[in-house]
Amino acid sequence: MTTAFDPIDLAGTQLANRIALAPMTRSRAGEGGTATELTATYYAQRASAGLVITEGIQPSVVGQGYPTTPGLHSAEQVASWRKVTDAVHAEGGRIFAQITHAGRIGHP
């Protein structure tokens, strides 16, 4: 019988178990919408879930709906999320980014 703790292949990504950390808005982005050291620590501490799904990350400056939410549209932001990804991988986890545009309420 398959359990939640059994490994699974998710479209070519090997997950240690079938547990996922659902995305939750944290509103703790740093200057310029970057992921911070605290962001890396937060997600690394949760890496034992088979899959970690990040909080919503806006793909463009006009996609931001709320202050202090992170982005993924500048080189600085991409570099900051690389540190988060590396921290999760160092703990044996897998991480997917939830790309979220705020739609018509979006503003820079």
- What are 2-51's pLDDT values in tens digits? 999 999 999 999 999 999 999 999 999 999 999 999 999 999 999 999 99
Are the CB atoms for 53 and 21 separated by under 8 Å? yes
Mean pLDDT of the chain: 95
Q: Per-domain residue ranges for the chain?
A: 8-105
pTM of the model: 0.92
Instruction: Determine the average pLDDT of the residues in 83-89.
Output: 98
Are the CB atoms for 30 and 18 separated by under 8 Å? no
Are the CB atoms for 27 and 69 separated by under 8 Å? yes
Are the CB atoms for 20 and 53 separated by under 8 Å? yes
